[in-house]
Structure 1
Amino acid sequence: MLFKYLSVVGILSTICVGHGILNFPKSRGNVQWQGTCSAGAGCKGPCDSPKADSPFNSQFNEKTTYTRGQEIEVSWKRLNHPGGFVRLSIASFDDSDNWDSFNNNVVKYTCYETNCGPDDPNDNTFGHLNGPGSQKCSTKLTIPDNLADGSYTLQWVWYGGGIYYGQVDTSFGEYYGCSDFKVSGGNSQTSDKPEAAFQGGDITYPNTDSCKYWGSNKVGDCNFGDRQPSPKDGELLSQSLEPCMHGPPKQGKPDGM
């Protein structure tokens, strides 16, 4: 009995470590939240740090350059949490502190666990396929042809993720990350803005037009508004506003898809 108890405690501590971070292309990063941007911790986006703090501003920073029509990989680590959606949007670098610029220029939605999952698929401590694991997750993104040559920002949003501190019927708040880049050449520029695409199918619902998620399927529902946490000495959970919502996992598409 003691061994079983210690095993569960060990798994719980593992599943609570680390949260959603854009891995590639490299995100701006930040100092205040140790590189992450969690709405529950008080980081409200739209990026992990404001435009003024982006390394892109430095003349010594090597700028990543893509061409129109180029397909790139966008990746993140699962970091011990299952479920949810990833939304990818592109705005001009100059407008990258503006939420509307990203909300109006969504390029793609996909499942958070689109091609990744738990380390042990038979571990059902927190439910079917909800165990710990930090596999690489990724999707492909094509640079839209309507972008003129210039400087842009890719926004990555994870929302609808689940299981906060071992509570299987809880959803996380949103996480944000941004990567700055330049567009130069490639396909001829067009005036038509592409419609947002949705790539469904994840570890729980493979080969379907859906994803597993908790809480809400809409960006903005779990950003906690203007609220900020009120940390108290010795109370770890007071450092966050989490969880966002309560309820069992669901199957579905992003709002509007």
Structure 2
Amino acid sequence: MAADTLDVGGLCSRPPPRLSLWQPPRSREAASGCGAVRPDTTPLGRRTRSSHVATPATAGCMAASSPPPSLRQRRRRLLATVASSTAAAAATAGLVFVALSALAPTPSIAHTFLTVPQSMSHIEGCRIGGSPGYVVSCPGPCPAHTKAMLRDPPTTTTIRRGGVLNLRYSRNNHEGGFARYSLVPADRAMDGHFHTRAAFLYTCWDTGAFKCRNPRERWRDCKYDDDQVAYKRRLRIPRVYPDGLYVLGFAWWGGLDKGKGFNAALGDYYDCSYVRIQGGPRMQRFHQPTFDASGEPGGKPGTCRSSVSMLGMCWREPCFQHHGGNMKPAVFSGGRRPDPIAAWWMNPPHILPRSLSELPDPAAASHLRPFAAITPDEAARLYGITLLEMHPVTGAVLARRAHVNWRVPVRVRRGRAVTIVADVGGDVRWVRWFVNGPLERRTGSWPYAIGGVGPRAQPVPWKAAIWGRPFSLKVRVTGMRGLTIVRQWRRVRFVRW
């Protein structure tokens, strides 16, 4: 940010230019041989200290450019008025900023993300929503999303079965909430239901704090934290995973703003890393997920400080409707615990049995709907659709537009192709696209684009896109067990410009 740029409440604006209340006519400058820029004068024509000796020529210029007494008095009065108005405006802006900052979550670039092992994506802070100016559309369970392009080639950490994985993640001026760790086959990275069933450890998020000491740690782990603090943990990999490539899922929910108690507005956050399991002790048939509340800095024994007890209660940020406390994750409350993780789940085709044990308790979900009506299909969610402007030949994404007003003509630059992707999360089996009634495409893999998906999970341009005339667009999302979500836009129109 430039030195003369002001930042008030995240809005950057440059100060108004200095007013020149009187300037000599250009004809007089030309007649007297004076230049337009003088190094020894200010923009208001005031004489500054200079080592130059005045010559007859420069003295004539100074005499010619000296304003009359009446204009000098007007200039002093106007400068005093401008100074008082600027001070009053700055004070008002400061009060407004303080009031808004008390209500909104801290407008950091990112609230939490994995730093070790390296994330599978370049995004920092995978969530839905956010403060104005920091809005993100990343529904999880991993940040492989239209706004979170995958690293190419991906970085993979190799570890033995039953070994210990050293993990670090950023704090970024927050505290509280729960962390969940899951390990799923790489081809199930975006399957939210599989992450839920394969979650092997739940912990309090703000445990294992450490101070960043060297430049590498300060840049990698603490670059957004005011106190230069981050978190680390040692994860024991369960012995139910055969050799192969997996995705380590990291989820954080119920987070609190530092120093603001249990009132928070933070949503659900996700991150993932590639992990290769190779060798190790003999495999086990089952592994029982556990909840570890040790190391919680301020909660009651066996609980964590959190605003909510489960993922999905604050799926969009900001989320002001909950007041938290000391609690357990919903899957461990009331004496319950999740089903064991079975080793045969990890063998192709990676089919999970039906189970209801991971459902939240009735008290935690009472604000959603009656407990008896909740099914695992509710993990399938449709947040909206995103327009991608693409290169017509290479398919490279040139622009991503997540908040399009589809009721007015959508302008697209000439020479660009388009496609539309569904922003979905959780337990998704199929996404069907309908254009003017008939089925346009059915896709079962991320990123669920209307134009199709390439061999490397990249969106493909929509070759049958309609230009210049309106058409109806409908998207139908189906969960693994039949729950269907439908949204429709009746008049969509693409125009070139």
TM-score category, normalised to shorter length: 0.7 to 0.9
1:231 is aligned to: none
**Is the 1:26–1:179 contact (alpha carbons within 8 Å) kept by the matching residues of 2?**
yes
Distance 1:114 1:73 in 2: 14
1:153 is aligned to: 247
**Is the 2:118–2:155 contact (alpha carbons within 8 Å) kept by the matching residues of 1?**
no
- Confirm whether residue 172 of structure 1 aligns to residue 261 of structure 2: no
Letter aligned with residue 76 of structure 1? Y
Change in Cα spacing, 1:42 to 1:248, as seen in structure 2 (3 Å) is same
2:235 to 122, 136, 141: 141
Letter aligned with residue 164 of structure 2? E
1:205 to 286, 299, 319: 299
- Structure of higher RCO (CA pairs closer than 8 Å, 6+ residues apart): 1
Change in Cα spacing, 1:54 to 1:16, as seen in structure 2 (3 Å) is closer
**Is the 2:160–2:278 contact (alpha carbons within 8 Å) kept by the matching residues of 1?**
yes
Change in Cα spacing, 1:97 to 1:247, as seen in structure 2 (3 Å) is closer
Distance 2:190 2:327 in 1: 30
Distance 1:117 1:246 in 2: 32
- Confirm whether residue 251 of structure 1 aligns to residue 345 of structure 2: no
Distance 1:223 1:80 in 2: 20
**Is the 2:186–2:247 contact (alpha carbons within 8 Å) kept by the matching residues of 1?**
yes
- TM-score, normalization: structure 1? 0.72
Letter aligned with residue 141 of structure 1? L
Measured against aligned partners, the alpha-carbon deviations of 1:147-195 in whole angstroms (never above 9, x if no partner) come to: 010000000001001239x797233110100000111100112221x12
1:187 to 281, 288, 293: 281
- Secondary structure of residue in 2 paired with 1:246: coil
Change in Cα spacing, 1:169 to 1:62, as seen in structure 2 (3 Å) is closer
Q: Post-superposition shift, 1:134? A: 4.6
2:197 is aligned to: 104
Change in Cα spacing, 1:190 to 1:53, as seen in structure 2 (3 Å) is farther
Letter aligned with residue 205 of structure 2? Y
Measured against aligned partners, the alpha-carbon deviations of 1:47-94 in whole angstroms (never above 9, x if no partner) come to: 0115x9544x73xx5532110110112221110112101100110001
Letter aligned with residue 222 of structure 1? C
- Secondary structure of residue in 1 paired with 2:278: strand
Change in Cα spacing, 1:245 to 1:152, as seen in structure 2 (3 Å) is same
- Secondary structure of residue in 2 paired with 1:169: coil
Q: Post-superposition shift, 1:222? A: 1.9
Measured against aligned partners, the alpha-carbon deviations of 1:18-37 in whole angstroms (never above 9, x if no partner) come to: 3111121111123xxx4321
Structure 1 stretches (4+) deviating beyond 6 angstroms? none
Q: Post-superposition shift, 1:196? A: 1.3
- Confirm whether residue 37 of structure 1 aligns to residue 126 of structure 2: yes
1:16 to 94, 107, 112: 107
* Superposition RMSD in Å: 3.3
Letter aligned with residue 96 of structure 1? A
Higher alpha-carbon deviation: 93-102 or 36-45 = 36-45
Higher Cα Rg, which structure: 2
**Is the 1:162–1:249 contact (alpha carbons within 8 Å) kept by the matching residues of 2?**
no
2:315 is aligned to: 223
Measured against aligned partners, the alpha-carbon deviations of 1:95-139 in whole angstroms (never above 9, x if no partner) come to: 111111101101111111113399xxxxxxxxxxxx964511122
2:83 is aligned to: none
Distance 1:62 1:76 in 2: 17
Higher alpha-carbon deviation: 93-102 or 247-256 = 247-256
- Confirm whether residue 65 of structure 1 aligns to residue 154 of structure 2: no
Distance 1:22 1:154 in 2: 10
**Is the 2:142–2:271 contact (alpha carbons within 8 Å) kept by the matching residues of 1?**
yes
Distance 1:170 1:184 in 2: 41
Higher alpha-carbon deviation: 83-92 or 245-254 = 245-254
Distance 2:117 2:210 in 1: 21
How many pairs does the alignment contain? 213
- Secondary structure of residue in 2 paired with 1:185: coil
Distance 1:117 1:180 in 2: 24
Change in Cα spacing, 1:87 to 1:211, as seen in structure 2 (3 Å) is same
- Residue segments in structure 1 that go unaligned for 5+ positions in a row: 119-130, 225-241
- Secondary structure of residue in 2 paired with 1:102: helix
- Confirm whether residue 25 of structure 1 aligns to residue 117 of structure 2: yes
Distance 2:279 2:261 in 1: 49
Change in Cα spacing, 1:199 to 1:134, as seen in structure 2 (3 Å) is farther
1:48 to 121, 136, 143: 143
Q: Post-superposition shift, 1:144? A: 1.2
- Secondary structure of residue in 1 paired with 2:202: strand
**Is the 1:169–1:246 contact (alpha carbons within 8 Å) kept by the matching residues of 2?**
no
**Is the 1:92–1:152 contact (alpha carbons within 8 Å) kept by the matching residues of 2?**
yes
Change in Cα spacing, 1:83 to 1:148, as seen in structure 2 (3 Å) is same
Q: Post-superposition shift, 1:38? A: 1.3
- Secondary structure of residue in 1 paired with 2:291: strand
